[in-house]
Chains A and B, each alone.
Chain A
Amino acid sequence: MTRPRGSDGGDPAGNSRTDDCGVDVCAPEAHDPGSPGDRGDGRAPGRCPAAQGGDALRPTDEERLARVALSAVVEPGDPVVGGWVAQHGPVEAWRDLQDGRRDGSVSRRRWEGLRHRAGRTDPRASLAEAAACGGRFVAPGDPEWPSQLDDLGAAAPVGLWVRGTASLRLLAVRSVAVVGARACTDYGAWVATDLARSLAARGWTVASGAAYGVDGAAHQGALRGGGQTVAVLASGVDTGYPAGHAGLLERVRAQGLMVSELPPGGHPTRHRFLQRNRLLAALTRGTVVVEAAPRSGALATARRAAALGRHVMGVPGSVLSAQSDGVHQLLRGGAHLVSRAEEVIELVGAMGELADVAGTTDPRDLLTEPAGRVLGAVPPGGAAAVEQIAADAGCGVAGAQAVLLELCALGYVERSGESWSLRR
C-alpha cells in the first residue's frame, strides 16, 4: 500500500520512503503544522499500518484509476481485502481482480463476490460521474489525503470521494466529530447546535454524519458559526443521505466538504453506516457524543475513536432521559465529560488552550481559619458586641477584635459603636 508520509504538513515529496516498516513509518507525526498539541500521546506506535509495496509518493494515473475501481469493489473497512490490496498495491490488485488471479489471503467465496463486482465496475465512468457533480477522488499520497486515516491500518479506505472546494487534509487537521442520536430531544439538538457553532467560531472543523437529529444540528450549528464542516457519508457524494437533508448537504458542500468512501451512486447500508463511523472517528481528533441511547450508532463512533486513540467526549444529559443513557455509560467508561466548546478544545487543541473554570470562587472561601469563623459568628441581621461574636466563634475577645478589624478592612463587616454587623 502506498503510504505517503505527509509529515509536518509539508509537501510529501520531501519524505523518503522505505519498503519496510521503518522508523519513518512509525515515528509520531504531528498532523497539524499550526498546533503541536498532544496529538501523538494516545497513539501506540505499533498501530501504524504495516505498509509494504508501492514506490511512488504521488499516485500515478494508473494507480489512481485502480484505486477508483477498488473503491467500488472493496466494501468499506474490509481488512482482509484491504490487506491484500496493501500487500500487492492497488494497480496489481486491480489487474489480478480483472484477470482472476486469486490471492491466497482472500477466501474463494469473497473472491467470487469481488470478481462479480469488478465485472460491473467502470472506474472512468465513476470519475466522470463524480466530476459531473463537482466531486473528485482523493487517493493516499495526494496532498489532500488526510494521513491520520493510516491509523486504520488494513481497514484504511482505498481512497475517498470528496465534494466541495476546501482541502480535506486542511479541514481534518483541526476537526472534531460531533455525533449523536437521530431521534434526539430538543436538548440534544440545542446542545449540538451550540457546541458546533462555538467550535466553528473558534476555527475548528465540525465533522458529522449528516443524519437527522444531532448530526444535522451539528452541521447546522457549524454553518451558522461561519465555520467549516465535513459531512462523512455512508452513501455516494452525488446524492447524499438522508434525502431530507439535501438542502443542508448542499450548504455543507458550499461551506465545507462532503466525504464518502463509496463511488457516486453508492447506497447506504447498515454495514456501511458502521464503517462510516470508523472513518469519522479516524478523520477527527476527537469525538463528542451529544445524545445517544444505549444502542446508538454514535456510541460505535465513540468506541472506534477510543480504539484509534482519539479523544472521546460526552455531553451529559438528564438521568431520566433514555437518550442520554448511552452517553452516561460512555462517561462512566472513562470518556471525558464536556459541556462547552472550550472544554472540547482543551482536550483536542494545542497545549495551553484551557477552558475557564465555570463559576467564580467566593473570596470568603479563601479566608483563613479564625477569620472565617469570626465572620460566620457575626449575626446575619442586626449587630452584636465583640464579646458575643468571640463566644460564638469560640476564640478570645482580643483575637476576635483583631480579626474583626481585619475583616472591616477587607469590607466584610462594619462597626457602629461597640457592635459589629455585616456589611451589605
Chain B
Amino acid sequence: MVFARTCSVAVTGVEGVVVEVQADLEPGVAAFTLVGLVDKSLSEARDRVRSAVVNSGIAWPQKKLTVALSPAALPKAGSGFDLAVACAVLAAGEHVEPAAVAELVLVGELGLDGRVRPVHGVLPAVLAAVDAGCRRVVVAEANATEASLVPGVSVLGVRSLRQLVAVLTGAEPPEEPVTEGPDVSSVLPPGAAAGLCSTSLGGEHRPDLAEVAGQRTARRALEIAAAGRHHLFLKGTPGAGKTMLAERLPGLLPPLTRQEALEVTAVHSVSGTLPEGRPLLDRPPYCAPHHSASMAALVGGGSGLPRPGAVSLAHHGVLFLDEAAEMSGRVLDALRQPLESGLVVIARSAGVVRLPARFLLALAANPCPCGRHGSAAGGCECTPHTVRRYRARLSGPLMDRVDLRVPVEPVGRAELLSAGRSESTSTVAARVVAARERAAARYADRPWQVNGSVPGHELRSRWAPAPGALQRAEQDMDRGLLTARGLDRVLRVAWTVADLAGHDRPTASDMDAALSLRSGVVRGAGLVGSLP
C-alpha cells in the first residue's frame, strides 16, 4: 500500500470543515512534504509527527512521502492535524490497516514522545464531523468529554500514538503514565481570551441580587432586561453600584437550553476558555472587557483567521461594557452589526468567518469625566461642554438600540443599613422564567422567542396593546420626542413588562414604564409604581 487517507477537521471561527488527509509513499529520496495551504504551526507538524512516530517504536518509511490536506484551497492552521497526519502516514506504510483509519476523524496534537495533547475547538470540530456523516472520532483523552457532548458519535480518547496504534491493530492498548511535570495543556496561546469572560462555574461564588441594597428602579430594569433580552444602559455616579448590578444580570437569565449550551461551548472551546473539568457551559456567560479593549478583542479578529472576540464569548449571555464612554468610538460602533443580526461576520484575506454573537448588552457610564455631574452632593468641576462631549461619545445609532436607560442613584445610608434583605436572584429569576414562557407561548409559531428580538412590524400588526395604552406614546410621537423606531422599541419593552406583570397585553401603565425606561424621563407612576 502506498496510499492511505483519513480525516480531520479545520475550524474557522466556530465552524468546522472536514478535511481529508492523504498520504502517499513513492520510491525516491526520503522526504516529507506537507501540502494544502498549511500555516506555520501546521507545517511544523512534519517534525512533530516524525519524532512521535519514531519515539512510539515504529519505523519511519524511508521513501518520498507526500501528505496533502484537501480541500486544498481552504486555509488550515493549528496543531490539531498532527494525529491525522501520523495515522495517514502509518496506514500508507502499512503499519495499520488503511481501511481502519479511512472512516476515522482524528483531532489532536502530537508531542515528540508520541503523547497526544488536547487542542482547542474540539467541540465545533466534532459537530462538523457529525454533520459530514462521520461517526467515529479520536481525540486526546483530555478532550474526550468535550467531544462526547455531541450526540450520535463514538469518541475514542487516547493518551498516546502507541495506544491508538494498538487499538487500530487490535492489540492490547499499553498503559500510558499520566503526564508528569507541569500541565501545559491548559496554557493558552497569546491572544486567547483568558480572563476576559467568566463562565459562572457551579462551585464558585455567584453574585446574588439579594446583596444589592435599595436600587429598586435599577433592579426592576435588570429584571425587564433579562425577561425580554433588552439591552441596558446604566448611568450613574461612580460607586453607585452599576458594576454590582450588571454582575448580577447573568444570574437572572434562564439556564441555557442544550442547543444554546452547545453553541456557547463551541465558542469557548475555540478560544480555549472552557473551564477545566466542565466541558459543557450551561449557564449564561458574562463577559466584561476593559474599556481599553481593541476592535479585535471585542468583535473578534487577529491576524490570519479571526478568533472569537468578547461579543462571541458573551453569546447567549451578558456583555458588560463598564465605562463605555471611555471606549473608542470605532470599537463601540462595531457592536451595531452584532446587535442587529446576532452574529459577527469578519472578513480577512484568508477568508470570511461568521461567529455567533447574540448577547445582552449592558453598558455603564458615568455622567461626566469626573463622575459627579448631576449628583445632589455636587462637586462636579466639568464644564457643560465637557459633559456634553463625554455623553456624545456614546453614539446615537448605538444608543438607539438600547431599550432601557436606567439612572442608578447612589444608595442612601438608611437603605444600606436597613435590616430587610432585598429579593434574591432566584426569586427574580423565577419571574423572568415565567415571563419568558408567556412570551414563548405567544410566539410559538414564530422564529423568535423573546420580546427583544420581535420585528417591529410584527409587533404593530399582530400584537396590539390594550385600548388607550398607546395614547402617551402617540403624544410623544406628535411632539417629536419619539421616533417610529423608538416606538417599536417601547412596544417591545411594554410587552416584557406586561409578561412580567401577567397582563395579557400591555396596559397604559406598562407603556408608561416602557416609555420611562426608553427616554429616561419618568412618566405616570414610573417604573417602580408598575410593580405587580
- Chain A contacts to B: CB under 8 angstroms: 181-183, 185-187, 190-191, 193-194, 197, 212-213, 220-221, 224, 294, 319-323, 325
Query: Once the chains bind, are A320 and B373 in contact (CB under 8 Å)?
Result: no
Query: Once the chains bind, are B479 and A321 in contact (CB under 8 Å)?
Result: no
Knowing A186-B405, A193-B481, A194-B479 touch, does A212 contact B384 (C-beta < 8 A)? Answer: yes
Query: Once the chains bind, are A182 and B388 in contact (CB under 8 Å)?
Result: yes
- Which residues of chain A are within 8 angstroms of B375 by Cβ–Cβ distance? 320, 322
Contact bitstring B356-382, A, C-beta under 8 A = 1, else 0: 000000000000100001111110101
Knowing A186-B521, A190-B519, A193-B481 touch, does A213 contact B376 (C-beta < 8 A)? Answer: no
- Which residues of chain A are within 8 angstroms of B382 by Cβ–Cβ distance? 183
CA distance A390 to B438 in the complex (A): 50
Q: Identify the closest chain A residue to B412 (Cβ).
A: A320
- Which residues of chain B are within 8 angstroms of A187 by Cβ–Cβ distance? 520-522
> What are 15 pairs between A and B in contact, CB < 8 Å?
A181-B384, A182-B384, A186-B520, A186-B521, A190-B519, A190-B521, A193-B479, A194-B481, A213-B388, A224-B479, A224-B480, A322-B373, A322-B375, A322-B378, A325-B378
Is B346 in the interface zone, CB < 8 Å from A?
Answer: no
CA distance A321 to B409 in the complex (A): 10
CB of B409, distance to nearest CB on chain A (Å): 6
- Chain B contacts to A: CB under 8 angstroms: 368, 373-378, 380, 382, 384-385, 387-388, 405, 409, 479-481, 519-522
Knowing A190-B481, A193-B479, A320-B409 touch, does A183 contact B373 (C-beta < 8 A)? Answer: yes
CA distance A151 to B388 in the complex (A): 35
Partner of B520, one of A182, A183, A185, A294: A185
- Which residues of chain B are within 8 angstroms of A220 by Cβ–Cβ distance? 480
Partner of B479, one of A182, A185, A197, A323: A197
CA distance A220 to B387 in the complex (A): 21
- Which residues of chain A are within 8 angstroms of B376 by Cβ–Cβ distance? 319-322, 325
Query: Once the chains bind, are B374 and A197 in contact (CB under 8 Å)?
Result: no
Given contacts A186-B521, A321-B376, A325-B378, 11 further A-B contacts (CB under 8 A): A182-B384, A183-B368, A185-B374, A190-B481, A197-B479, A197-B480, A213-B384, A320-B376, A320-B409, A322-B376, A322-B378
Q: Identify the closest chain B residue to A193 (Cβ).
A: B481
Query: Once the chains bind, are A193 and B520 in contact (CB under 8 Å)?
Result: no
- Which residues of chain B are within 8 angstroms of A320 by Cβ–Cβ distance? 375-376, 409
Partner of A183, one of B377, B388, B481: B388
CB of A325, distance to nearest CB on chain B (Å): 8
Q: Identify the closest chain B residue to A182 (Cβ).
A: B384
CB of B67, distance to nearest CB on chain A (Å): 63
Interface centre among A183, A193, A294 (most CB of B within 10 A): A183
- Which residues of chain A are within 8 angstroms of B479 by Cβ–Cβ distance? 193-194, 197, 221, 224
Interface of B is mostly: loop
- Which residues of chain A are within 8 angstroms of B480 by Cβ–Cβ distance? 193, 197, 220-221, 224
CB of B515, distance to nearest CB on chain A (Å): 10
- Which residues of chain B are within 8 angstroms of A182 by Cβ–Cβ distance? 384-385, 387-388
- Which residues of chain B are within 8 angstroms of A322 by Cβ–Cβ distance? 373-378, 380
- Which residues of chain B are within 8 angstroms of A224 by Cβ–Cβ distance? 479-480
Closest 3 A/B residue pairs (Cβ):
A186-B520, A182-B384, A183-B387
CA distance A57 to B374 in the complex (A): 51
CA distance A325 to B380 in the complex (A): 13
Q: Identify the closest chain A residue to B522 (Cβ).
A: A187
CA distance A190 to B519 in the complex (A): 8
- Which residues of chain B are within 8 angstroms of A213 by Cβ–Cβ distance? 384, 388
Query: Once the chains bind, are B388 and A323 in contact (CB under 8 Å)?
Result: no
Query: Once the chains bind, are A186 and B387 in contact (CB under 8 Å)?
Result: no
CB of A223, distance to nearest CB on chain B (Å): 9
CB of A79, distance to nearest CB on chain B (Å): 29
Q: Identify the closest chain B residue to A191 (Cβ).
A: B521
- Which residues of chain B are within 8 angstroms of A193 by Cβ–Cβ distance? 479-481
- Which residues of chain A are within 8 angstroms of B373 by Cβ–Cβ distance? 183, 322
Q: Identify the closest chain B residue to A211 (Cβ).
A: B384
- Which residues of chain A are within 8 angstroms of B481 by Cβ–Cβ distance? 190, 193-194
CA distance A190 to B405 in the complex (A): 14
CB of A244, distance to nearest CB on chain B (Å): 9
CA distance A262 to B385 in the complex (A): 23
Q: Identify the closest chain A residue to B523 (Cβ).
A: A190
Knowing A183-B387, A212-B384 touch, does A323 contact B374 (C-beta < 8 A)? Answer: yes
CB of B473, distance to nearest CB on chain A (Å): 14
CA distance A181 to B479 in the complex (A): 21
- Which residues of chain B are within 8 angstroms of A185 by Cβ–Cβ distance? 374, 520
CA distance A185 to B520 in the complex (A): 9
Q: Identify the closest chain A residue to B373 (Cβ).
A: A183
CA distance A319 to B377 in the complex (A): 11
Q: Identify the closest chain B residue to A323 (Cβ).
A: B374
Knowing A321-B374, A323-B374 touch, does A186 contact B384 (C-beta < 8 A)? Answer: no
CA distance A186 to B385 in the complex (A): 16
Q: Identify the closest chain A residue to B375 (Cβ).
A: A322
CB of B424, distance to nearest CB on chain A (Å): 27
- Which residues of chain A are within 8 angstroms of B380 by Cβ–Cβ distance? 322
- Which residues of chain B are within 8 angstroms of A186 by Cβ–Cβ distance? 405, 519-521
CA distance A320 to B237 in the complex (A): 12
CB of A328, distance to nearest CB on chain B (Å): 11
CB of B419, distance to nearest CB on chain A (Å): 24
CB of A53, distance to nearest CB on chain B (Å): 43
CB of A2, distance to nearest CB on chain B (Å): 39
Query: Once the chains bind, are B374 and A212 in contact (CB under 8 Å)?
Result: no
- Which residues of chain B are within 8 angstroms of A194 by Cβ–Cβ distance? 479, 481
CB of B497, distance to nearest CB on chain A (Å): 19
- Which residues of chain A are within 8 angstroms of B384 by Cβ–Cβ distance? 181-183, 212-213
Interface centre among B380, B385, B481 (most CB of A within 10 A): B481
Q: Identify the closest chain B residue to A187 (Cβ).
A: B521
CA distance A213 to B389 in the complex (A): 12
CA distance A82 to B409 in the complex (A): 50
